[in-house]
Amino acid sequence: MTYRWGCAVLVMLCLGVPLRAQEEAPEEEEPSLKPKLEFAFEAKAHYRDSDLNRFAVPFRFDPIMLPRDQSQGFEETVNAGSHLEISTVTLLVDATWGDGLAAHGKIDFIDLYDRNPTSSDGKTDVDEAWVRFGIEPAPATLAPRGGAYLKIGKMPKLERQDDRHLESYGLVSAAFNRFEDTGAELGLNLGRHVYVKATATQGNPVFLRDPNALAGDNGTPAMRQPFPDPELKSGIVILYDAEVEDLDVDGDLELGGGVGVRFADEGGVNGVDFLAWGYRRNLAETVELEGTFYGGDLDLLNGPGNATPFPALRGDEKREAGANVWVYFGGLSFFGQFVDQEIAGLPRTGLEAEVAWRFELPLWLSIGDRQLFTFVAPAARYSELDNDFRNHPNTPAPSLAWDWKKLDAGLRVGIIPGADLTVEYADHEFILGNGAKRDNNEFLTTFRWRV
């Protein structure tokens, strides 16, 4: 049984326990062997309109590797045009035994937008499956007291933005910490304000994907056929830390850590949190990823057949350091992140900042004893990715070395508790190797429903 299916079975076992009604009055939490279980379903439906852009690549593909009547390879917008699609149906399971022990599972079905990394990847994915001993305060909230926690399993990275106000991702999130890793995280609350975290994980494989909604198809089995013409196209890609899919205990661990300080009110509404963090690991020669025959890590950086390595590529060390800021004040929230990364001698930095303001709406209408139109939350996010390295002159993916800027702006409207609509536009700009600027913009509307 694979790791993926092992996690799935664990979570499905939890489903055997009767459902608890969402609106049932929560009971006093007392330590007990019987867990308190919560289940949730989330589904996302979208209207997406992606601008069509294509850029010729210098790599000399054998004509049999290109669509018929095409002598040139391109990086091309993934599935351009207007589309209605359902991106995910997600099952979430939480079990808690008092404050000191918690387990969490998250399984995506369909998994269109989080596909890792291509459309031929599995359509069912265990995004998270972890157990935690001890209390882990949310960002910008106070720890109830000093103490420690240990979290083991597949989990979000410690620096990931956990409270997002747009459906799209910024360039920094997409490149560095959008996807989960597997391992252990130890947290120490040194009093209520200061905290330290340390991680030992597998490390996310370095791969490539389009940073817009759809990842694009690279190295899919269909491309082994003569004259392939994949429907989704390659995308205009960046290097990113792909999701860990299989348990690999043989490779080098990625070691990471962070130190932070937070101040907040007792109600957990207003607060500020600052976290400095870093990671280090040795890249693998190759990492197999389901859905692509391209290898991750050094295999990817060396190009097809090791023929187009990045000129500055050296060694196998991957390291990154960064800083996060969270601010919550009333309905205002701000998240900022800076990352400085070096992948085997390839340096790059990323900067991302998101501001949102949630306005609670007065009670005008209701449906089924619930308020209709509960809040509006305008949000804007700026992100940039500066790749301070050059690409191989014959690369099949020149965009990997371009500099990128992205401005996302949108509005989220709460329709009823548990359902909301997000309308957003991504103004996506990159600077080509010759200095020319191009766009790859996208309009995205997301209806999200949680039960």
Partner 1 sequence: MRRLVPVLMLLLALPAAAEELRGRLQLVGKGGKGPAGGSDVRQALVWFEPAAPKPASPSTFVMTTRGKQFEPRTLTIPVGSRVRFPNEDVILHNVFSVSGENSFDLGLYRRGKGKEQKFDRPGLVRVFCNVHHSMVGYILVLQSPYVATPDAEGRFVLTGLPRGPGRLTVWHEQAEPAGMDVQVPRAEPLAPRLEIVRPRIPPHLNKTGKAYSTRDNYNQR
Residues in the site for partner 1, rule: CB under 8 A?
23, 25-26, 28-29, 40, 42, 92, 94, 96, 102, 104, 106, 128, 132, 136, 138-139, 141, 156, 160, 162-165, 265-270, 333, 358, 360, 362-363, 366, 369-371
Q: How far is the CB of 363 from partner 1 (least distance, A)?
A: 5
Q: Which is nearer to partner 1, 164 or 381 (CB)?
A: 164
Give the residue among 309, 297, 311, 202 at the shortest CA–CA distance from 246: 202
**Beta strand ranges found along 299-398 (DSSP E):** 317-329, 332-343, 346-357, 359-360, 365-367, 370-372, 375-387
Q: How far is the CB of 265 from partner 1 (least distance, A)?
A: 4
Q: Which is nearer to partner 1, 29 or 229 (CB)?
A: 29
- HSE at residue 356, side-chain half, CA atoms within 13 A, is 28
Q: How far is the CB of 293 from partner 1 (least distance, A)?
A: 32
Q: Which is nearer to partner 1, 164 or 233 (CB)?
A: 164
User: Among positive and negative, which fits the CA dihedral 396, 293, 245, 116?
Assistant: positive
Q: Which is nearer to partner 1, 233 or 448 (CB)?
A: 448
Q: How far is the CB of 196 from partner 1 (least distance, A)?
A: 18
Q: Which is nearer to partner 1, 326 or 382 (CB)?
A: 326
Q: Which is nearer to partner 1, 89 or 313 (CB)?
A: 89
Cα 208 to Cα 128: distance, rounded to the nearest angstrom: 22
Q: Which is nearer to partner 1, 94 or 340 (CB)?
A: 94
Cα 76 to Cα 54: distance, rounded to the nearest angstrom: 4
Q: How far is the CB of 279 from partner 1 (least distance, A)?
A: 19
Q: Which residue has the tokens 């920094």?
A: 172
3-state helix, strand, coil split of the chain in percent (to 5) is: 10, 45, 45
Cα 423 to Cα 121: distance, rounded to the nearest angstrom: 28
Q: How far is the CB of 417 from partner 1 (least distance, A)?
A: 8
Token representation of residue 15 = 């489903």
At residue 71, φ and ψ (nearest 5 deg) are: -105, 0
- Cα 408 to the center of its chain, rounded Å: 16
Q: Which residue has the tokens 């500066």?
A: 386
Q: How far is the CB of 263 from partner 1 (least distance, A)?
A: 13
